[in-house]
Structure 1
Amino acid sequence: MNKNLTMNRRKFVRNSAVAAAGGGLLISQLPVEASAYVRGNETIKVAVIGCGGRGTGAASQAMSVDQDVKLVAMCDAFRDRLDKCYDNLTQKHGDSGRIDIPEEHKFVGFEGYKDAIALADVVILTTPPGFRPIHFEEAVNAGKHVFMEKPVATDAPGVRKVLEVAKKAKEKDLNVVVGLQRHYQPSYLALMERIHNGEIGDITGGQVYWNSSGVWVRPREEGQTEMEYQMRNWYYFTWLCGDHILEQHIHNIDVANWAKQSYPTMAQGMGGREVRTGPDHGEIFDHHFVEFHYGDGTMINSQCRHIEGCMNKVAESFVGTKGRATTDGKTEITDLKGNSIWSHRDKNDRNPYQIEHDRLFETIANGGELLADAENGAKSTMTAILGRMATYSGKPVTWEDALNSDMSLMPETFAFDAQPPIVPNADGLYPVPTPGKTKVI
């Protein structure tokens, strides 16, 4: 029995039953570590790959579960981010005995993830999303359970890789949770159950939103290579971030897919840069508007914006033949005249970010239905990429053409002295997608 928990409890019990039937093997005759694992008493070792804000938060949530968990390894491209993450986690969890990371288990650079993954039973993948397919493949090949943040790729080749590895994870009985936390949020679970039970009838249309003022900017520092600058300012480069329609708005797009219980067949839309146009804003748009067309003829409109001083809204709304469902302000179902039929009182709901980790570690320790979020995570990632392809090109793009695209955004070499896929001109400005001209397939 592998002490690294690469075989979960269900698989172990199943294999033990077969062995017992053939040779009369009893639990009392098993090695100590195997029987301890059946009883759920073995420490679950965790590594975090990507030590920014989300990595720090996810690692903290992992150390807040009920199971015996210990953080044993960390990795980041930059030492200062690793040290900040370690200090923050130590301040919060240092007295819990759940942090055991000697200096030799702190890995820095592009290749350190391999060493960190090798030390753990569960791997937390929270780097910029461009690296997700590479790290996910390494973790699953090594037989590790995975929590990985959304999105799970930034281009179609990356999505196809995640779909391929997701199948391997299932074959190995490895649990995979993706940070689309609304799937673990009580209010959304209650709403979707009612939608899928037909309480608003057949969905005929909808709108999903992520409109906000935007995120941080990290200025260029003297002496930085172009690769280091882009890695530090990763949100503004499509190969690393995927644009904000993917990095943030994926949450709402995923909810549309969840409500429809399907994925779009085509998208068309528009977008551009109105106010976020400087050299410190890389190449991404500051607004997108997309029509997602589903196979039954339903069209759901998607809008996301990063512009200060405008309407802020992060919500979803769906119209059916019998009523409406919305998460705007409160989670509610109304009839077609606007009369409330049901609303979710969520004041006492637990944090869905914590629930994700609670479910993951409980399943690893005690068994139960395999958590297999990777396929939906990849397909909702692809949906947002499909929307980006539509806005960048200004043309309709089909799901099939988008998913089968061989256009990779990733660099050929990962090193701080290597050239990224996109570089600035003499004025320090990066080439920006131009609808009507930019090729996306």
Structure 2
Amino acid sequence: MPNQPQPSEASVQPRREFLKSTLVSAGAAGMGASAGLSVARGANVGGSDKIRIGMVGCGGRCTGAAADVMTADSATQLVAMADLFDERVKSKRDSLKAKFPNQVSVDDDHCFVGLDGYQHVIENVDLVLIACAAKFHPMYAKAAIDAGKHVFLEKPHGIDPAGVKVVEETCEIAKQKNLGVLSGLHSRYHQKYRETIDRVLDGQIGEIVSIEENFLRGPYGNIARSQEQRELEIQYGNQYRFSWLCGDDVTQSLIHNLDRATWALGGATPVDCHGLGGRSGPDHLLGDVFDHHSVVYRYENGVRVYALCRTTSGCYGESTSTIMGSKGIAVPTQGIIRGNNEWRYSGPGGSPYVAEQAAFLKSIRASNPINSGDYMVKSNTIAVMGQMSCYSGKEVRWDQIKQSDFRWGPRPEDCTWDMQPPTQPDSNGVYPVCAQPGTTTTI
């Protein structure tokens, strides 16, 4: 593999200056709005200084996104909320109201409960924040864009090939309508990560040879059954524990790592991958998801990405991205480069969650809204590709996953409060594992 020429300091400086200016602009967006900047005409917010936001999902992530928006821009107003559970809507409204008393204006008539709540939120806002069970993300995002609203869409944007195709179509429609779509892949707005990967793209570690990605932690979400709820309510209320709702951990969590790897590789996509996974934890926890996955992605130029995630209690934990090059090693998650060009990030900190929302709001006000479609679809497809390989035990090719219309049932539009969930516990409350590698078909 030939070595990539090492750039001079002068050649990399313009890129770094651009990086710094974009980060400063993102941070200034919130300050500018706080100072009373007018909303640009045609920004789809009705010509008002206020941007009305609404939450679809009232769990921790969507609540965090709403707080990030209101922190980034004091001229935003939370006016509508929806969830499948009434107590979640009311409790999150109260907690956000306590923190942002002048920006939360959600009366009881705009607290929506049920599977159609997303429709009512869309009707009442300019910007829809979608962070709920990921199964519904594509359908909700498309409905919002079809209605002419801007969208923040949390990852995973889709949990199967069919869902990602809907997201890709939705992002294209958004471009045609000059509407914004912001991805929840917040690494793109993390200053330390951006500066490190910028230097990788400038060749400071030479040519990339391989990348190691780790997302190792304990169980995600609730792990015990409720004695007071019926089965479907238990599953709806604990989305991260059920594969038909969350897509499992490669799409749910490792997608962040895979997005960073794809970014460092200049947007390259793998030729194929092979993965393995299963459930090996000592306890029968709530749900049917795997508790460990490993995926090897192979690229046309010989690079391999080794990606691992685990959600087993009492085990080693690590959340890192490590990029191995011909002239050094970069660790974006630590902000360091080792090798011929030693470097450590020493710039400003700040929340990437707030930074991404500040940049998004600024772009909306400028009538040039951000559309994250390219990287969000690409990284999501790579995650789904790996998940499908882990579940099936088969090698999965990029062309297969792009052509596939596979969908985990039931379809989101067919879900109701009265249906039988696709997985059921046995008499001891133990769920069957969601897939059996070597038997399960995913493509």
SS at structure 1 position matched to 2:71: coil
Q: Which of 223, 227, 248 is matched with 2:232 structurally?
A: 227
State the partner residue of 2:401: 402
Does the CA-based 8 Å contact 1:411-1:419 persist in structure 2? no
Does the CA-based 8 Å contact 1:392-1:440 persist in structure 2? yes
Does the CA-based 8 Å contact 1:75-1:106 persist in structure 2? yes
Deviation of 1:405 after TM superposition, in Å, equals 2.5
Whether 1:169 and 2:174 are equivalent positions in the alignment is: yes
List aligned pairs for 1:37-436, cutoff 5 A.
42-94=49-101, 97-222=102-227, 224-261=229-266, 262-275=268-281, 278=284, 280-327=285-332, 330-335=334-339, 341-346=342-347, 348-368=348-368, 370-412=369-411, 413-432=414-433, 433-436=435-438
**Following the alignment from structure 2 to structure 1, what is the Cα–Cα distance between the partners of residues 258 and 238?**
25
Deviation of 1:35 after TM superposition, in Å, equals 9.5
**Following the alignment from structure 1 to structure 2, what is the Cα–Cα distance between the partners of residues 39 and 268?**
49
Deviation of 1:392 after TM superposition, in Å, equals 1.4
Question: Which of 1 and 2 has greater Rg?
Answer: 1
Does the CA-based 8 Å contact 2:409-2:422 persist in structure 1? yes
State the partner residue of 2:27: none
**Following the alignment from structure 1 to structure 2, what is the Cα–Cα distance between the partners of residues 425 and 439?**
23
User: Residues 439, 44 of structure 1: CA spacing in aligned structure 2 closer, same or farther, 3 A cutoff?
Assistant: same
TM-score normalised by length of structure 2: 0.86
Deviations 1:214-245 (A, max 9, x none): 22325333453322111112111112111112
SS at structure 2 position matched to 1:239: helix
Deviation of 1:212 after TM superposition, in Å, equals 1.0
For these two proteins, the number of residue pairs brought into alignment is 401
SS at structure 2 position matched to 1:249: helix
State the partner residue of 2:29: none
Listed as ranges, the gaps of 5+ residues in structure 1 are 1-31
**Following the alignment from structure 1 to structure 2, what is the Cα–Cα distance between the partners of residues 308 and 38?**
46
Deviations 1:408-431 (A, max 9, x none): 113242222112222334443333
SS at structure 2 position matched to 1:371: coil
Does the CA-based 8 Å contact 2:42-2:367 persist in structure 1? no
User: Residues 116, 246 of structure 1: CA spacing in aligned structure 2 closer, same or farther, 3 A cutoff?
Assistant: same
SS at structure 2 position matched to 1:124: strand
TM-score normalised by length of structure 1: 0.86
User: Which residue identity is paired with 1:271?
Assistant: G
Does the CA-based 8 Å contact 1:67-1:365 persist in structure 2? no
SS at structure 2 position matched to 1:131: helix
**Following the alignment from structure 1 to structure 2, what is the Cα–Cα distance between the partners of residues 317 and 202?**
14
Deviation of 1:380 after TM superposition, in Å, equals 1.1
**Following the alignment from structure 2 to structure 1, what is the Cα–Cα distance between the partners of residues 302 and 286?**
37
**Following the alignment from structure 1 to structure 2, what is the Cα–Cα distance between the partners of residues 107 and 39?**
23
State the partner residue of 1:21: none
**Following the alignment from structure 2 to structure 1, what is the Cα–Cα distance between the partners of residues 135 and 52?**
25
SS at structure 2 position matched to 1:191: helix
Deviation of 1:340 after TM superposition, in Å, equals 5.9
User: Residues 34, 274 of structure 1: CA spacing in aligned structure 2 closer, same or farther, 3 A cutoff?
Assistant: closer
User: Residues 35, 323 of structure 1: CA spacing in aligned structure 2 closer, same or farther, 3 A cutoff?
Assistant: closer
User: Which residue identity is paired with 1:233?
Assistant: N
Deviation of 1:132 after TM superposition, in Å, equals 0.3
Does the CA-based 8 Å contact 1:40-1:365 persist in structure 2? no
Deviates more, 1:425-434 or 1:181-190: 425-434
**Following the alignment from structure 2 to structure 1, what is the Cα–Cα distance between the partners of residues 403 and 309?**
25
**Following the alignment from structure 1 to structure 2, what is the Cα–Cα distance between the partners of residues 392 and 321?**
34
SS at structure 2 position matched to 1:187: helix
Does the CA-based 8 Å contact 1:175-1:371 persist in structure 2? yes
Does the CA-based 8 Å contact 2:51-2:77 persist in structure 1? yes
Percentage identity across paired residues of the two chains = 35
State the partner residue of 1:24: none
RMSD (Å), alpha carbons: 2.2
User: Residues 215, 37 of structure 1: CA spacing in aligned structure 2 closer, same or farther, 3 A cutoff?
Assistant: closer
Deviates more, 1:424-433 or 1:50-59: 424-433
SS at structure 1 position matched to 2:53: strand
**Following the alignment from structure 2 to structure 1, what is the Cα–Cα distance between the partners of residues 431 and 224?**
15
State the partner residue of 2:6: none
Deviation of 1:367 after TM superposition, in Å, equals 4.0
